[in-house]
Amino acid sequence: DIQMTQSPSSLSASVGDRVTITCRASQVISNYLAWYQQKAGKVPKLLIYGASTLQSGVPSRFSGSGSGTDFTLTISSLQPEDVATYYCQKYNSAPLTFGPGTKVDIK
Amino acid sequence: EVQLVESGGGFVQPGGSLRLSCAASGFSISNYVMNWVRQAPGKGLEWVSGISASGSSTYYADSLKGRFFISRDNSKNTLYLQMNSLRAEDTALYYCAKITSYSSGCYWGQGTLVTVSS
């Protein structure tokens, strides 16, 4: 099965900073990569699918890039409401593996 | 409004069984692959199982094969998860979700809590 890794596992940044999270698949998954945001006690929220397509209603400060095995989620200007754990997920075929998550907080 | 409402969770002793249900409204699940995802307390998201639109194909996380069984009743717009031989490590919030074919929407339920303990 394809394994998903994320780095870093956690980060602390200041409001307004540019934040980058990396997700890597152990095999090629084309662009079948989604990014989720999960705030404490809440249901995961889809941010990006197809590696770079912004889900409707998601702020434009979020962007995704990559294809094949290496992917990136970028928050161009971190806001207090972005404090959350972020997960990548492959969905080209079962198993629909999630990455281990990256916890983002404000410095 | 699209809704996925899970039910059937609860407290069960190790070795016991539970059947989770997920009732959909606002869209027809018959057109889509549906999935179960779980999250243990304080842990990350773990995909559990998926089922094709017709129900003819089922998929499971390797660690669960032989204990969990997914099914669907498209006429009732409902997804199920039969969980047998439950272990303490199965304790988690279980979500029903449409997490493929994202161009046609992404839907999650609020989850149902399963606690396995003696």
Which of B45, B62, B103 faces A98 most closely, judged by CB atoms? B45
Q: How far is the C-alpha of A10 from the C-alpha of A76, rounded, in Å?
A: 17
**Which residues, 6+ apart, have CB-to-CB distance to A101 below 8 Å?**
A6, A9, A38, A85, A86, A87, B44, B45
| pLDDT of res. A53 | 97
How many C-alpha atoms does B8 have within 13 Å on its Cβ side?
Answer: 18
Å between B27 CA and nearest CA of chain A? 18
User: Which chain B residues are closer than 8 Å to A95 by Cβ?
Assistant: 47, 59-62
Q: Residue length, chain A?
A: 107
For residue B85, CA distances in Å to A71, B17, B22, B63, B98 come to 38, 6, 21, 13, 26
* Per-residue pLDDT tens over the stretch B41-79: 999 999 999 999 999 999 999 988 789 999 999 999 999
Average pLDDT, chain A: 97
Nearest to B35 among A34, A50, A96 (CB): A96
Neighbour-count burial of B104, counting CB atoms closer than 10 A to its CB (0-12 exposed, 13-18 middle, 19+ buried): exposed
Mean pLDDT of A76-94: 97
> Is the CB of residue A68 less than 8 Å away from at least one CB of chain B?
no
Amino acid at site B91: T
DSSP A97: P
Q: Is residue A2 within 8 angstroms of chain B, CB to CB?
A: no
Q: Is A91 on the interface with B (CB under 8 A)?
A: yes
Instruction: Tell me which of A74-78, B24-28, B36-40, B100-104 is least confident.
Output: B100-104
Whole-number average pLDDT of chain B? 96
What mean pLDDT do residues B11-19 have? Answer: 98
Render pLDDT for A33-74 as a digit per residue (tens, 0 to 9). Answer: 999 999 999 999 999 999 999 999 999 999 999 999 999 999
Is the CB of residue A90 less than 8 Å from the CB of residue A25?
yes
Q: Is there a contact between A97 and A35 (Cβ–Cβ < 8 Å)?
A: no
CB < 8 Å to B61, chain A: 95
pLDDT-based confidence at residue B103 (cuts at 50, 70, 90): confident
| Strand pairing category for A102-106 and A10-13 | parallel
- Please say whether the beta carbons of B20 and B10 come within 8 A: no
Amino acid at A15: V
pLDDT on residue A59: 98
What confidence tier does B101 reach under pLDDT thresholds 50, 70, 90? confident
Residue B1 contacts A where some CB pair is shorter than 8 Å: no
**Cβ of residue B52 closer than 8 Å to a chain A Cβ:** no
Tally of CB atoms within 10 A around B24: 24
Q: Pairing mode, if any, of strands B112-116 and B10-12?
A: parallel
The reported pLDDT for the residue numbered B104 is: 85
How close B61 comes to chain A (CA, Å)? Answer: 6
Residues A3-33 as b or e (16 or more Cβ within 10 Å = b): ebebeeeebebeeeeebebbbbbeeebebbb
Tokens read off for A88:
């990548």
B17 Cα to chain A: minimum distance (Å): 23
A-B Cβ pairs (cutoff 8 Å, strict): 55
